[in-house]
Structure 1
């Protein structure tokens, strides 16, 4: 696909462009440069949009957008225009092309980070509708700060401002539940500490002991009990009766142990008057909870995101007419940063599929409220 901008031609980048891309990177940036190896990896990746801008046989610009699989989020990873070609509007034209192609593959939002001192770039992004929604301290190699910016590239989204919401990266492969719960609790009561000690304490309280071949994952009732212990009111939604996580457990001993743990959780939840709704529930129930001051922690399947059928807890941060947004405590690979794991947008119909786990299509979520009878949250 080629588009002419006067004497300039945009096209998809190819492996033969590698030497020219490296040379352009050297000319455009003094630090935080993409390496030859990084360029090669992205040229061969399927999770990207990679365009170059040519004048004759010379590459005078490039734009790289990377995509989070299974979500509607794309990220402008790098945009470069040759110093000799600046001031001609080429950056804007290339960005428009990248946005169009991102929309064509179903993305709703494009995010980026930009150095706070780079007024030229900030001016470009602001002129194209990008809004600042956060910042990173000491983000670059020179220790300069970065602004986080975002634009709804599909016009139907009405969500104009993302809420302030804490984010925490899980420190182990098996503590997504505690990490998600800490984010929800801290958003209600900032005095709740988000650290590894609290994360592991929560996991010990909420784990099901076994999960597939590794450490136990957290049960919705276990997480609710852990939240109630810390002064929060909790309500649990589960679309099926217990037991929940025994389908993939082959060992009869492990299966019996899981069922015993679940029975203990259920008895404790009854004793603590934790509300449990065992029925199919609509996404509107969770949206209503958010609109009334609740915080939502939801179980999803990671299959659509990373190809693995693993149950994973996330924190739903907001909803609008068309989209749902969530904080993911897991940073999946070296190309994705914490920035990309916050307020991840999904079309609501996509989340319905994402939140269904296993052959039995388990759907479960936990709603937290401040317990107004407990002053320890103040």
Structure 2
């Protein structure tokens, strides 16, 4: 499929290049890219457009096609129709496998043999696995306080790990510096437009599952917003006569730049405090404006919840529905009651929530 990189700010287009991370068209741009397709297509809802020279080059480790189940107990409790999409059933235990498969496939088409990435855990594990499968050498920079289980998973796949002290963004800065010093492509899941194209498959699966009765709402835990953005792109790309669900973004109250952007408030990165939801703890998400725009375009909302609420809902979800969700994924359930109280979600409406990662990746500290 023929495609271009398009800057989200100046709208200029560029030939695809895995070494091109942000737009350098003007001195003040430095914005991230998205992929736009230049080939006319009567696209079917069953077949997402993919940015590869040949679709057979898409690496398949079994990612995608995760189950959607109804949460009967919580549906009754909230007087809603609540569904969960079990993204933790992807090969490495999180939704990140959708993006990694596409990104690594594209890099391999370009002949890339060695990459640099930074991650708080899930993306690093995913990219490490797909790199191992594809015989790529990977350097993964992680925060020093990243969950031990996630770091162990990355290491097991054979990646070289670099533990960086300080906030999450320090790992990003160190990875970029390393990539430049060693002339290696910085293959960031937060920046790569290929990663977003991979997460579109989530949206297509939702579209095909619900058909003419799409959910009223999809609630996402968001750090950089890749699943939120990918889902919205799928609905727009599918070009079907269906209603696009309201897309909602949930963050920790300790660190919520996307909520601030949506509310048109000034975010000060120095005002953050540590959060238990490390998977969505991004100080300066490069796709913050794009994420907020998706929320606005779908008439959704951006809401923050406390760490105490998140912890409580990890327990409730396990004990009421038998789902051991990663702590980050539990943030979405903590938001439902607030959304009902503010009349964002109305009784009897349908709600879909992705369980973005498995609980054993970062198990609760207060259980033995």
TM-score where L is the length of structure 2 = 0.28
Larger radius of gyration: 1
Q: 1 or 2 for the larger relative contact order (CA 8 Å, sep ≥6)?
A: 2
Which structure has greater helix proportion? 2
Which structure has greater strand proportion? 1
